[in-house]
C-alpha cells in the first residue's frame, strides 16, 4: 500500500526566504505526482504535476523535482511572500486508470511579513 | 474550479437522517472521486467511479454509497448520518493517462 509522508508538518519563515518542502513515498512505481495548495476553509488548487518520466516542473517561483527511484519529491519556493501562506499537499497517482491519489498530510506554511 | 461544482457547500443534519451530496463536472472526464478530509487523517478516498454506473470502494467506504447515472454527475449518499461522518467532503475528477486531478470547492457537513 502506497504511503506518502511530508516533512516538515509545519514551517514558519520570514518573508523573502527560499524554502524547500519535502515529500516521500514508499512505492516508487508511480504514474505521476501532484503538488496542491490549500488555503484555510478552501478547496485544493493544483500547483504542479510531474509525470513519472520527468525530473522537474516549474511554474513562476515554484519548482518541483521528482526522484522516483528514491521515492522523493521536493517543492522549492523562491523568494517567499506572505501570500504563500497555506497548507501544501503532495499526492501520488500510482496508476493511469481509476486509481485515486494517495495524499500526504501536508506542510502548513506561514510566511511572516 | 469552473469545471467541477459541489452542492451544497454547507449542510447541518441530524443523526440518523439520509444525506446526499452532489458533484457535477463539465469536463467530460471518465473518472470521479469522493474524498473526505479530517484533521490528523488528511484526505482519504471514500468511493470512486470509472464510468457511468461503474463504481468501486475506497479506503473509508463504510456508511457511504454512490451513484453515477450520467457522466457529469456523481452522488454521495450517507444512508443514516452519524457524528463520525462530520467532515469536509471533496469531489475530484481526472482523465486517463497523465492527467492531473481537479478538485471541487468542498462540502462542509456537520452531523448533530
pLDDT band with cut points at 50, 70 and 90 for residue B96: confident
- pLDDT of amino acid B98: 78
**Closest residue on chain A to B103 (Cα):** A44
pLDDT of residue A97: 73
Contact across the interface for B97 and A42, Cβ inside 8 Å: no
**Across all residues in chain B, what is the average pLDDT?**
94
Task: Tell me the CA distances in angstroms from A106 to A77, B1, B8, B39, one per residue in order.
Answer: 15, 21, 26, 11
For A97, which of B50, B92, B100 is closest by C-beta distance?
B50
Best to test chain A binding among B98, B99, B102, B107 (most A CBs inside 10 Å): B98
Question: Which of A43, A49, A98 comes nearest B90 by C-beta?
Answer: A43
Q: What's the gap in Å between the CA of A19 and the closest CA on chain B?
A: 23
Place of cell 519563515: A13
What is the per-residue pLDDT across A52-106, written as a single tens digit (0 to 9) for each? 999 999 999 999 999 999 999 999 999 999 999 999 999 999 876 777 899 999 9
Give the mean pLDDT of A27-39. 95
Contact list, A105 vs chain B (CB under 8 Å): 40-42
Partners of A89 in the β-ladder: A36
* Model pLDDT, residue B2: 61
Q: Report the distance separating Cα A5 and Cα A11, nearest Å.
A: 15
All three cell numbers of B8, joined, read 451544497
Provide the total of helices (H) and of strands (E) in chain B, helices listed first: 0, 11
Average pLDDT, stretch B84-95?
A: 96
Task: Determine the average pLDDT of the residues in A39-58.
Answer: 95
Q: What residues of B are in contact with residue A101 (Cβ under 8 Å)?
A: 33, 43, 45, 92, 101
Phi, psi of A100, deg, nearest 5:
-80, 175
pLDDT in tens, B15-27: 999 999 999 999 9
Per-residue pLDDT, A100? 85
What is the structure's pLDDT at A94?
Answer: 86
Q: Which residues of A touch B42 (CB under 8 A)?
A: 89, 103-106
Task: Answer for the pair A37, A47: CB distance below 8 angstroms, yes or no.
Answer: yes
Instruction: List pLDDT tens digits, range B32-72.
Output: 999 999 988 889 999 999 999 999 999 999 999 999 999 99
Q: Would the pLDDT of B11 be above 70? A: yes
Full DSSP string of B54-86: EEEE-TT-TTEEEEEEETTEEEEEESS--GGG-
Q: Which residue has the cell 504535476?
A: A49
CA A58 to CA A79: how far, in whole Å? 14
For the cut 80, the answer to whether the pLDDT of residue B97 exceeds it is no
**Mean pLDDT, range B2-8, rounded to an integer:** 91
Residues B46, B76: contact at Cβ < 8 Å?
Answer: yes
- Rounded to the nearest angstrom, the gap between the alpha carbon of residue A106 and the centroid of all alpha carbons in its chain is 8
Looking at every residue in chain A, the average pLDDT score rounds to 95
The whole-angstrom separation of Cα A96 and Cα A59 is 24
Amino acid at each position: 500500500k502506497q504511503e506518502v509522508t511530508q516533512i516538515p508538518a509545519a514551517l514558519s519563515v520570514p518573508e523573502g526566504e527560499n524554502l524547500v518542502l519535502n515529500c516521500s513515498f514508499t512505492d516508487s512505481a508511480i504514474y505521476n505526482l501532484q503538488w496542491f495548495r490549500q488555503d484555510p476553509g478552501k478547496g485544493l488548487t493544483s500547483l504542479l504535476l510531474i509525470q513519472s518520466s520527468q525530473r522537474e516542473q516549474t511554474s513562476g517561483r515554484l519548482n518541483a523535482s521528482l526522484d522516483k527511484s528514491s521515492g522523493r519529491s521536493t517543492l522549492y519556493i523562491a523568494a517567499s511572500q506572505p501570500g504563500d501562506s497555506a497548507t501544501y499537499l503532495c499526492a501520488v497517482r500510482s496508476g493511469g486508470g481509476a486509481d485515486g491519489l494517495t495524499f500526504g498530510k501536508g506542510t502548513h506554511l506561514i510566511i511572516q511579513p | 474550479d469552473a469545471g467541477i461544482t459541489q452542492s451544497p457547500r454547507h449542510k447541518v443534519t441530524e443523526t440518523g437522517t439520509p444525506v446526499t451530496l452532489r458533484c457535477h463536472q463539465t469536463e467530460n472526464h471518465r473518472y470521479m472521486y469522493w474524498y473526505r478530509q479530517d484533521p490528523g487523517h488528511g484526505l482519504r478516498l471514500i468511493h470512486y467511479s470509472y464510468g457511468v454506473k461503474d463504481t468501486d470502494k475506497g479506503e473509508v467506504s463504510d456508511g457511504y454509497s454512490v451513484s453515477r447515472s450520467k457522466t457529469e454527475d456523481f452522488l454521495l449518499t450517507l444512508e443514516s448520518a452519524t457524528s463520525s461522518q462530520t467532515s469536509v467532503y471533496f469531489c475530484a475528477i481526472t482523465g486517463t493517462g497523465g492527467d492531473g486531478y481537479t478538485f471541487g470547492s468542498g462540502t462542509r457537513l456537520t452531523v448533530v
